[in-house]
Structure 1
Amino acid sequence: MGTMEKKWRIHTPDEQAVEAVAQGTGLSALAAKILVTRGYTTTDEALDFLRTDEEVIHDPYLLHDLEGAVARIQRAIEQQENIVVYGDYDTDGITSSTVMKTALQQLGAVVEHVIPNRFEHGYGPNEALFREIAEAGANLLITVDNGIAGNGPIDVIKSLGVDVIVTDHHEPGKELPNADFIIHPRHPEGNYPFGELAGVGVAFKVAQALLGRVPEELIDVVAIGTVADLVPLVDENRYFVIKGLERMRHHARPAIQALATVAGTELSDIDEQTIGFGFGPRLNALGRLGDAAPGVDFLMMEQQTEAMHMANYLNERNKERQDLVAAITEEAIDMVETIPEVGNSRVLVVAGEGWNAGVVGIVASRLVEKYYRPTIVLATDSEKGIAKGSARSIEGFNMYVELDKNRDILPAFGGHPMAAGMTLQQADVDELRSRLHTQALDCLSEEDLVPVLNIDIPLNVEEIDLDALDDLKKLAPFGVEFEKPLYGLRDLSIKTMRKIGANEDHIKMEIGKNGHYLDAVGFHKGYLADELTPGIDISFAGDIQINEWNGRRKPQFMLQDVHTDAWQLFDIRGGHKISQWLAKIDADQTTFLAFRKDTIAHYTSVIPREIKYYDEEDTAEAYEKFIVLLDLPQNVQQLEHVISLEKLERIYAHFYVSDPHLFDGMPTREQFVWYYAFLRKRREFHLHQNLNTLAKHKGWSRAMLIFMTQVFFELEFVTIENGLAKIVDNPPKRDLTSAAIYKERTQQLALEKTLLYAPYKDLRQWFDERIHQTVSEEEQ
């Protein structure tokens, strides 16, 4: 492979710290290594991280403005004022609304919830919707998971006599809204000890203060919003998710039971991945395709039949969402690949007429995965002349900060360093792309555009056992800023390898060394079977899971990336069909080399690029990093010259020979003597008429007789005219081996034996010796 698909950043934890943490916590060495790598280097730090009691919960009144907000809400409840909870249309917004509304209802409040429609109102506070809320008689508006950037609409609703409490966690702007109270864990005038709460976490803190206790009955909902919104799973967030998962497994509300059913998950098996990939997307599908408000009603349902009906509806909407994402992603990729000003920009900005604005964030994530560049995907509406969309970023490019520099063409936007949403004029899309490209040139180097794979622990295969893997569950949940561990297994070999799956999209291997082997599976990595070869050292990065089958449990490595510095030899000699091996080669990175001109004529119609004819004057610039050796060289020196020019990463050995000689071999001296005596006796011999009969009589091949005749002709032992061989009287005395054709055949036989018919292991060794010799000479 030569170059890495990703840049590996391998962390090697301090062994003394690992030993101390393992002893102090009772964890396995493997679990202790992960904690130390993540910065928990002392026993006290590790125990603080692992703590799951209520001491982890901070005093809600440490939040700026909370005391005044609670007093205003209590007055509204006492006076039976109309309260509106105004949420967002994603999972965090739905769960935030659920938590706030439930807590208020428990206190006897008159409360309704409103969630803006993504397509009619856009993200966050909407002036028209705020006017409707005021006209409907609201006295108090409480925003959840939005509002911190809603300055204008909040001024409007306050002017209409409605008090406003903002609860949010998104990045505060330079000017805060003129709300009555702002509850934000990173309020510029506050000192809350944990600033990374999700919107639902902030709502939960308000509920905690209102109820005067930690409302455990709501913590399952908090867990869903916290995981779905990709906030760091440390501190309070870790507590919320651990306790929320416990509640889901043992005291699941009807909505959770119904979601588990449609997601195909047993309640006892629910974990953070169930939320992230099963529950969150289904709740998100509502707001991505239409009205998200029913999501709050769903989470608050008390009847199982009703909840199951709604869960099925969510499931169908999620399938619609998946189809939309696939279609838009395909169109977006086509734009990146075919429109230079889009594909060449350091920040990808793609826009499509009629795209569903509700799913463009997912599409942006897909493009970041594929191209590893900050990405904005916009849905345009030509009639209104606007573009709405979402952004996803990479390490080193703070999306919120960079967008903030363009407020003059971004009338509405908000978000985080890694994600944002926005609305702008369709006419300004190209200008935004151009500006962000220029901004990215200042803060993103070429190296920054190589995705980084953070490998927590380099392991040996023999270190992996079931007890250590079971112990890792104590570190869960895993998520942002406490990601699932990634392991590195270095310098292993592949014992077995095969493609699996109906379309052979996946791969299964046995990897290891020194008698210790481990099963490895790579989903959507079937292509590796065409890119990895036996006999080389390969490093693997991935996760380790426990595979349970028929009552047996054993470790299984889940591949994420592979890397090798070794050159690779691919054996495509002999019976391999051209179409089969051509399909596995990246032609744009490959030199197709021929040592004989007739080979070029043979392959011109099937090779997808120009075939290079060998020239002894060639330099390294003449060759790509991959090379296909289409035929045998005319001598070893030619091939050694090619090898010496540059460190080739992949060598594909085809070695086509139109007329192989090895199985005929070289005629013996006795065969030459007999044939010459035969010709002397006959004086002349008609080759066309009698050669086949003679070959059959002697049990020799026709080709061998022709070769011997050519040797006699070159040595002037015979003449040949119109197929008639005549003996020459008193010929010059010459040894058979002095004939050029004899020398050429000898050389050809040696090349065929060494290169064409040698076992793979011997052929690789032949190349290895010469490659290592070249490297050694370069280092001298």
Structure 2
Amino acid sequence: MIQSKKRWSISRPDDKLVSTFEKELSIPRVCAKVLVSRGFQTIQEANSFLHLTEENIHNPFLLNGMDHLVERVHRAIDRQERIMVYGDYDADGITSTTVMMKTLLSLGADVIFKIPNRFIDGYGPSERLFQEAFDEGVKLIITVDNGISGLKQIQFAKSLGMDVIVTDHHEPGEELPVADIIIHPGLEGTTYPFPHLAGVGVAFKVAHALTGEIPTELFYLVAIGTIADLVSLTDENRYFVQKGIKQMKRANSLAIEALANVSGVEISTINEESIGFMFGPRINAVGRLGEASPGVELFLTDEQTHALSIANMLNEKNKERQAIVKQITDEAVAMIEKENILAGPSVIVVGKNDWNPGVLGIVASKLVEKYYRPAIVLGIDEEKQLAKGSARSIEGFHMYKELAKNGDIIPHFGGHPMAAGMTFPLENLEEFKNRLQAQAKECLTDEQLIPVVLIDVPLEMHEITTEAIESLQKLAPFGMGFAKPVYCIEKVEVASVRKIGSAQNHVKMELKQDTSVLDAIGFGMGELADEISPTAKLSFIGDLQINEWNGLKKPQLMIQDVKTNDWQLFDIRGIRQVNRWLPMISLEKNIFVAFHEATISHFSTFIKEKIWQYTDVIEQQIKSDYVTLLDLPADETLLNKLLEYHDWSRIYAHFYAEDSTYFEGIPSRDQFKWYFSFLAKRKTFALKQHIHELSKQTGWSQNTINFMSKVFFELNFVRIDNGMLVLNDHLAKTDLSEAPAYKQRAKKIELEHKLLYAPYMELKQWFEERKAVQTVPEEEQVWI
């Protein structure tokens, strides 16, 4: 058995509907399976999804307050009132600020921008920056990607005499700010049909309304912010990202060229993964470690040298950020392990003095990935007696709503169901922890704390072709709300497996199903090579990619998880060096069993774990997942009795035999006859003294001669007098097979044939027959 790391939830799309989609839409069966698994029921629905048009963009004036916003902004432009765009320090906030700045500048506005410093101002609106703006002559503030939770700060701005327009997409609280206008797609009572815009999507809507036409030249900015902020890639977000990626591939932006240069991305290959894993982290890095304004400057500059200079700075900041994240993550994991925070359904809350608040969200994400618990990571400021941090969540724990229940002790917070930020007095930390643990126990079950992987597409291997994989790009972009498909191949053979990489920590396999073969790679899964027994049928989940080498294209599965429910037999017979097979065994799940005391003595030098006598295993009821059978029993029934006791999922068969007799066999009757005649002629024979000469003369081993001598002794053909073998008088006619030594040797040879020298498949069948007895339902068992 190989246990999967996650719970697999496999969608089984309707075959008839899949075939209809395949035929009517002229798409490979793999694509059709994905669409049906994702809930598409009609050709029209699927066709609309595959062929997005400008009609997918909703009218911006469906957003409540948009007409008032247009009137107020144009009035400010006409009067040359100074406008401030107030953004946020992440990639969504930076692109939102850029969209608004480009739009207002194109309209001739007197406009500046400010982005809070997370170390000085924290998240959201800042009284310090609002005062600064007022002093610089600002009459109108437009927030982008923030503001909905800045009640006190926006009240302050209003008290100074400035007008405030809030554009945001974050979860609104029970009370809204006293802004002049609020543009938010998710407010209660709104008529806007799509509530899942990113902050940059809302800014784009404002730009559309202000200019009177779709600002298509800004699609690339919307794509970056939308992907980076992990909002749903459905509806018009999907269209924005599709168009934005195409725009970036045309290399019409100095910022994109510079980002691609420093991150090693080919412009022609840009996709949602390039943006999410290469561009996004670099744009985010400046705001995580200091001032975020260079991110906006990168997108506003029209000088190539300046763009590349800023991109290089972002790249260096990202490297610095990575090092800080690793350090804090390591410290957080050490705290969690030491304090046993994971006992029962819980929220992880960890904090430390001087942890950089700019990277705590990333650390929280890594903790969620490692432990699958909601995680809050806090930077402690002892001087100010404040705790400031970020939260990431899992399905079933609505982070924003759960934080909102604690508004009396965490006065400043904001976010989404899956992510949030907060600042609160340090004296409330223990109370905050206790409340969250109680809340978690109310809404999270033990089952919910085991991660689930949703598998869209169970495939037959013959369906996996390079053409099918290439066609999957028709379904892109993938992301939140329309995740990249997870593919499943069930119960296939592993034709070959080997460890690869300098540290041998990766695995490469060739999978086989009927006549189809498929390459598979598992990064960081090198241990799998030791866990796959011959003939095992395994199920895999993962991503499908195309491996191109020397012009040859081949499909390839990137393994994410693997399992088999079948028990496995590992054949380590004949490997005399213990250090060659011992590392293959997961010691914490295994017990070593011996049938002979001498075996325990022999192996105790090499094996530091306890070696159990088979009788002790049964009498003391020792259970384990795996068992290693170190030696052969004296009798087959002893092994049968052990196997009846427990149903091990893995059996490692070593079957060490110090004095194997299989290849010597039992001497023939002619050999016995010759030896008897030899003794009869001499009457007496000094066996111990002359056995070497006899062995040399006959070509028989000394073991064979001793064995025949013992058989004669047991049958009373000879006796031993003063060390001499003496032939007895008056011999009774007795069959050789009546001698106990003869019977024992015959039994041992038969056992060695079945267990020690049988081919793998015969040995597997031998165990299968005995394990089958274990699985017979009790009502079907026959008791004698």
The equivalent of 1:139 in structure 2 is 139
Deviations 1:92-124 (A, max 9, x none): 111111111111111122222222222222222
- After TM superposition, give the deviation of residue 260 of structure 1 in Å: 1.2
1:249–1:270 Cα contact (<8 Å) kept: yes
The answer on 1:742 being equivalent to 2:749 is no
Query: What is the 5 A alignment of 1:48-63?
Result: 48-63=48-63
Query: How many residues are matched?
Result: 780
Q: Which piece of structure 1 moves more, 80-89 or 273-282?
A: 80-89
Q: Which amino acid aligns with 1:517?
A: V
The equivalent of 2:497 in structure 1 is 497
Q: Which piece of structure 1 moves more, 370-379 or 291-300?
A: 370-379
Structure 1 unpaired stretches of 5+: none
The equivalent of 1:574 in structure 2 is 574
Q: Which piece of structure 1 moves more, 8-17 or 164-173?
A: 8-17
Give distance in 2, aligned partners of 1:427 and 1:669.
Answer: 94
Q: Relative to structure 1, is the Cα distance of residues 616 and 333 closer, same or farther in structure 2, using a 3 angstrom cutoff?
A: closer
Give distance in 2, aligned partners of 1:685 and 1:112.
Answer: 115
Q: Which amino acid aligns with 2:465?
A: D
The equivalent of 1:46 in structure 2 is 46
- After TM superposition, give the deviation of residue 263 of structure 1 in Å: 2.1
The equivalent of 1:487 in structure 2 is 487
Give distance in 1, aligned partners of 2:221 and 2:22.
Answer: 34
Structure 2 unpaired stretches of 5+: none
- After TM superposition, give the deviation of residue 77 of structure 1 in Å: 1.9
Deviations 1:632-670 (A, max 9, x none): 122222222233333321111121222222233223333
Identity, % of aligned positions: 52
Deviations 1:645-702 (A, max 9, x none): 3332111112122222223322333333444444455555555543333333332223
Q: Relative to structure 1, is the Cα distance of residues 81 and 515 closer, same or farther in structure 2, using a 3 angstrom cutoff?
A: same
Query: What is the 5 A alignment of 1:161-310?
Result: 161-310=161-310
Q: Relative to structure 1, is the Cα distance of residues 428 and 752 closer, same or farther in structure 2, using a 3 angstrom cutoff?
A: farther
- After TM superposition, give the deviation of residue 326 of structure 1 in Å: 2.5
Give distance in 1, aligned partners of 2:100 and 2:244.
Answer: 17
3-state SS, counterpart of residue 584 of structure 2: coil
- After TM superposition, give the deviation of residue 616 of structure 1 in Å: 8.3
2:345–2:440 Cα contact (<8 Å) kept: no
Give distance in 2, aligned partners of 1:149 and 1:576.
Answer: 70
- After TM superposition, give the deviation of residue 753 of structure 1 in Å: 1.9
3-state SS, counterpart of residue 776 of structure 1: coil
Q: Relative to structure 1, is the Cα distance of residues 341 and 469 closer, same or farther in structure 2, using a 3 angstrom cutoff?
A: closer
Give distance in 1, aligned partners of 2:287 and 2:94.
Answer: 9
Give distance in 2, aligned partners of 1:576 and 1:282.
Answer: 54
The equivalent of 1:386 in structure 2 is 386
Q: Which amino acid aligns with 2:572?
A: I
Give the TM-score taking structure 2 as reference length: 0.94
The equivalent of 1:695 in structure 2 is 695
- After TM superposition, give the deviation of residue 596 of structure 1 in Å: 1.6
Query: What is the 5 A alignment of 1:462-477?
Result: 462-477=462-477
The equivalent of 1:96 in structure 2 is 96
1:335–1:343 Cα contact (<8 Å) kept: no
Q: Relative to structure 1, is the Cα distance of residues 348 and 657 closer, same or farther in structure 2, using a 3 angstrom cutoff?
A: farther
The equivalent of 1:758 in structure 2 is 758
Q: Relative to structure 1, is the Cα distance of residues 730 and 205 closer, same or farther in structure 2, using a 3 angstrom cutoff?
A: same
Q: Which amino acid aligns with 1:165?
A: I
1:497–1:508 Cα contact (<8 Å) kept: yes
Give distance in 2, aligned partners of 1:734 and 1:689.
Answer: 28
Q: Relative to structure 1, is the Cα distance of residues 360 and 716 closer, same or farther in structure 2, using a 3 angstrom cutoff?
A: farther
Q: Which amino acid aligns with 1:267?
A: I
Q: Relative to structure 1, is the Cα distance of residues 703 and 401 closer, same or farther in structure 2, using a 3 angstrom cutoff?
A: farther
Give distance in 2, aligned partners of 1:245 and 1:359.
Answer: 27
Query: What is the 5 A alignment of 1:347-366?
Result: 347-366=347-366
Give distance in 1, aligned partners of 2:381 and 2:583.
Answer: 41
3-state SS, counterpart of residue 570 of structure 1: strand
1:573–1:655 Cα contact (<8 Å) kept: yes
Q: Which piece of structure 1 moves more, 696-705 or 179-188?
A: 696-705
1:620–1:645 Cα contact (<8 Å) kept: no
Q: Relative to structure 1, is the Cα distance of residues 227 and 682 closer, same or farther in structure 2, using a 3 angstrom cutoff?
A: same
Deviations 1:296-340 (A, max 9, x none): 101222122221222222222222222222333233333333322
Q: Relative to structure 1, is the Cα distance of residues 689 and 219 closer, same or farther in structure 2, using a 3 angstrom cutoff?
A: same
The equivalent of 1:597 in structure 2 is 597
1:342–1:349 Cα contact (<8 Å) kept: no
Deviations 1:336-357 (A, max 9, x none): 3332245555322232333322
Give distance in 1, aligned partners of 2:422 and 2:741.
Answer: 77
Deviations 1:190-241 (A, max 9, x none): 1211000011101111111111111111110110010111111111100110
Give distance in 1, aligned partners of 2:755 and 2:175.
Answer: 74
3-state SS, counterpart of residue 776 of structure 2: helix
- After TM superposition, give the deviation of residue 516 of structure 1 in Å: 1.4
Give distance in 2, aligned partners of 1:343 and 1:723.
Answer: 72
The equivalent of 1:624 in structure 2 is 624
The equivalent of 2:110 in structure 1 is 110
- After TM superposition, give the deviation of residue 619 of structure 1 in Å: 7.5
Query: What is the 5 A alignment of 1:58-77?
Result: 58-77=58-77
The equivalent of 1:704 in structure 2 is 704
Give the TM-score taking structure 1 as reference length: 0.94
Give distance in 1, aligned partners of 2:337 and 2:606.
Answer: 26
The answer on 1:14 being equivalent to 2:37 is no
- After TM superposition, give the deviation of residue 705 of structure 1 in Å: 3.1
Q: Which amino acid aligns with 1:609?
A: E
The equivalent of 1:564 in structure 2 is 564
Q: Which amino acid aligns with 2:655?
A: F
Q: Which piece of structure 1 moves more, 328-337 or 311-320?
A: 328-337
Give distance in 2, aligned partners of 1:427 and 1:574.
Answer: 65
Pairwise CA RMSD: 2.5
1:342–1:350 Cα contact (<8 Å) kept: no
Give distance in 2, aligned partners of 1:290 and 1:779.
Answer: 71
3-state SS, counterpart of residue 367 of structure 1: helix
Deviations 1:412-432 (A, max 9, x none): 222111122222344544443
Give distance in 2, aligned partners of 1:619 and 1:441.
Answer: 40
Q: Which amino acid aligns with 1:360?
A: L
2:29–2:463 Cα contact (<8 Å) kept: no
Query: What is the 5 A alignment of 1:600-619?
Result: 600-615=600-615, 618=618
3-state SS, counterpart of residue 481 of structure 2: coil
Q: Relative to structure 1, is the Cα distance of residues 744 and 380 closer, same or farther in structure 2, using a 3 angstrom cutoff?
A: farther
Give distance in 2, aligned partners of 1:230 and 1:307.
Answer: 26
The equivalent of 1:660 in structure 2 is 660
3-state SS, counterpart of residue 333 of structure 1: helix
Give distance in 2, aligned partners of 1:214 and 1:182.
Answer: 21
Give distance in 1, aligned partners of 2:717 and 2:76.
Answer: 120
Q: Which piece of structure 1 moves more, 330-339 or 410-419?
A: 330-339
Give distance in 2, aligned partners of 1:475 and 1:722.
Answer: 93
Q: Which amino acid aligns with 1:357?
A: P
2:754–2:763 Cα contact (<8 Å) kept: yes
1:345–1:433 Cα contact (<8 Å) kept: no
2:286–2:295 Cα contact (<8 Å) kept: yes
Q: Which amino acid aligns with 1:480?
A: M
Q: Relative to structure 1, is the Cα distance of residues 739 and 52 closer, same or farther in structure 2, using a 3 angstrom cutoff?
A: same
Q: Which piece of structure 1 moves more, 466-475 or 718-727?
A: 718-727
- After TM superposition, give the deviation of residue 80 of structure 1 in Å: 2.2
The equivalent of 1:159 in structure 2 is 159
The answer on 1:443 being equivalent to 2:443 is yes
Q: Relative to structure 1, is the Cα distance of residues 82 and 724 closer, same or farther in structure 2, using a 3 angstrom cutoff?
A: farther
Q: Which amino acid aligns with 1:338?
A: K
3-state SS, counterpart of residue 291 of structure 2: coil
Q: Which amino acid aligns with 1:669?
A: R
Q: Relative to structure 1, is the Cα distance of residues 478 and 676 closer, same or farther in structure 2, using a 3 angstrom cutoff?
A: same
The equivalent of 2:126 in structure 1 is 126
Q: Relative to structure 1, is the Cα distance of residues 659 and 466 closer, same or farther in structure 2, using a 3 angstrom cutoff?
A: same
Q: Relative to structure 1, is the Cα distance of residues 730 and 285 closer, same or farther in structure 2, using a 3 angstrom cutoff?
A: farther
Q: Which amino acid aligns with 2:762?
A: D
Q: Which amino acid aligns with 2:409?
A: I
